[in-house]
């Protein structure tokens, strides 16, 4: 008796299921395909949003220095104060090592710094007199790079700017870019070196914009 009642109920439910003709099935399939084609994916391809950083170099900096007034991210409101050994350094080479592969700025305060700087990042290296023409314009205290080695700065990456320095010492080439650093800009620098057997600037770059 129980089996008979169960079969009767199942048969009744099967009879009540909706039936679709071929035309109806095709219409449902088309609506489903349209919906899936127009759906908005949740996986968004993001553009490159690497934040450019300004690094600060001062030969007087120590871990106890006051970094107020520095701004490592000018694109963001308010000052993002530099942090010792992260975005603030006492040597130019340490700042270069910390910089990203391209696009960052290294701001060098007035002072005296050692040469033999390997500039292997596409950065703007700006001295205290960046943008100040040494041929007549009044300049502030200089960012001096004093070198007695084979070179003062050796650029080995493309798109580098060296602007606003004073070079001193009796080493070899001041700026040695024979390693290949295209689109190199050298601007507003003073070359006080008196004994430079290899010349002030040695380059195989294309192009080199030399404004001194």
Residue 23, helix vs strand vs coil: helix
Please report whether residue 102 resides in a domain.
yes
Provide the domain limits for residue 8.
2-38
Looking at the fold, whether 59 and 94 belong to one and the same domain comes out as: yes
Distance CA 154, CA 176 (A): 5
Looking at the fold, whether 31 and 58 belong to one and the same domain comes out as: no
Please report whether residue 23 resides in a domain.
yes
Please report whether residue 47 resides in a domain.
no
With tokens 């700065």, the residue in question is 153
Looking at the fold, whether 88 and 162 belong to one and the same domain comes out as: yes
Domain count, the chain: 2
pTM above 0.95? no
With tokens 């990456």, the residue in question is 157
Distance CA 104, CA 117 (A): 17
Looking at the fold, whether 67 and 20 belong to one and the same domain comes out as: no
Residue 125, helix vs strand vs coil: strand
Write out the two tokens for 123.
């950065």
Please report whether residue 196 resides in a domain.
yes
Looking at the fold, whether 21 and 110 belong to one and the same domain comes out as: no
Distance CA 170, CA 97 (A): 26
Looking at the fold, whether 96 and 34 belong to one and the same domain comes out as: no
Q: What is the pLDDT of residue 137?
A: 87
Looking at the fold, whether 11 and 106 belong to one and the same domain comes out as: no
Report yes or no: 38 and 31 within 8 Å, Cβ to Cβ: no
Alpha-carbon distances of 112 from 56, 60, 128, 141, rounded to whole Å? 14, 10, 11, 10
Looking at the fold, whether 129 and 91 belong to one and the same domain comes out as: yes
Looking at the fold, whether 150 and 118 belong to one and the same domain comes out as: yes
Please report whether residue 83 resides in a domain.
yes
Please report whether residue 132 resides in a domain.
yes
Please report whether residue 27 resides in a domain.
yes
Looking at the fold, whether 73 and 153 belong to one and the same domain comes out as: yes
Looking at the fold, whether 120 and 16 belong to one and the same domain comes out as: no
Looking at the fold, whether 178 and 112 belong to one and the same domain comes out as: yes
Please report whether residue 192 resides in a domain.
yes
Residue 171, helix vs strand vs coil: coil
**Tens of pLDDT along the chain (212 residues)?**
555 665 566 566 555 555 556 666 667 677 767 766 665 444 444 454 467 899 999 999 999 999 998 999 887 777 789 999 999 999 999 999 999 878 999 999 999 999 999 999 999 999 999 999 999 889 999 999 998 888 899 999 999 999 999 999 888 888 887 666 889 999 999 988 655 554 555 444 444 455 55
């Amino acid at each position: 008796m129980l089996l008979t009642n169960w079969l009767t109920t199942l048969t009744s439910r099967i009879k009540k299921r909706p039936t679709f003709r071929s035309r109806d099935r095709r219409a449902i399939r088309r609506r489903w395909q349209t919906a899936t084609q127009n759906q908005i994916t949740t996986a968004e391809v993001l553009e490159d949003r690497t934040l450019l950083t300004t690094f600060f170099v001062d030969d007087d900096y120590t871990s106890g220095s006051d970094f107020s007034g520095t701004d490592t991210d000018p694109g963001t409101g308010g000052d993002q104060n530099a942090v010792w050994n992260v975005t603030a350094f006492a040597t130019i080479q340490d700042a270069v090592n910390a910089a990203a592969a391209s696009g960052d700025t290294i701001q060098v305060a007035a002072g005296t710094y050692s040469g033999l700087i390997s500039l292997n990042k596409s950065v703007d290296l700006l001295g205290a007199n960046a943008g100040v023409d040494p041929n007549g314009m009044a300049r502030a205290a200089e960012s001096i790079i004093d070198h007695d080695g084979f070179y003062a700065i050796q650029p080995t990456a493309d798109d580098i700017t060296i602007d606003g320095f004073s070079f001193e010492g009796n080493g070899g080439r001041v700026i040695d870019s024979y390693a290949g650093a295209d689109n190199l800009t050298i601007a507003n620098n003073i070359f006080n070196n008196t004994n430079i057997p290899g010349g002030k600037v040695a380059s195989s770059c294309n192009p080199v914009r030399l404004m001194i």
